[in-house]
Structure 1
Amino acid sequence: MTYEPEPTVLLHAADGLSVDARISRHGGGLHFYAQDLGGPFSEYEWSWTFAPETFADIRAILADHDPQRDLLIVVQEFFADSDIRDPGKWLRDNGIPAEFWSRVEH
């Protein structure tokens, strides 16, 4: 069995914070994963997961109307040059349902 990594795009990497997006091979959800090594904790990680059923709404909020375009490219183009450091929270705050996970190491 050969391991194939999930397609991933980097959205932000500076000041100890890295944020990426990927499409899960298990279930097809859109995941935003972040790791903050520069904040008040020694390490803080969080992720947001958006079900495939939300993809049309995500595209609409990101002003992309071509369902044939790779969603990761759409996400990268919208968030990589923006000041938004938590794209999952931004999408959730704009009405897209998501699951949240986090871990803090002191």
Structure 2
Amino acid sequence: MTNQQNNVFIDPNDAALLLIDHQSGLFQTVKDLDVPTLRRNAIALARLAKVTNIPTITTDSVPSGPNGPLIPEIKEILPELVYVPRNGEINAWDNPNFVKAVEATGKKL
């Protein structure tokens, strides 16, 4: 059966979670919801990935700069996540290591 026939929106067996720029400093720039809600949402995604065994890849741009590091709760929940640092690339897909990490999940792109 296809996902559509099962009425399943996301199949954990064919999903990967890509958390791009979930950095503490960047959370302050989001204006469509408050920072505590944004943080809770990111934590909920990490917990969902944990209980469903969805591979998770995270990347950030210059964590030692003003954007800050990845929020620590994500790494605490998912210590096995794959972290791919970026060297200033704005678009994560411009980083060949990020693309390789996504491809290594074996999930469809």
**What TM-score bracket applies, with the shorter chain setting the length?**
under 0.3
TM-score (normalizing by structure 2): 0.26
Q: Is the strand fraction higher in 1 or 2?
A: 1
TM-score (normalizing by structure 1): 0.26
**Larger-Rg structure:** 2
Q: Is the helix fraction higher in 1 or 2?
A: 2
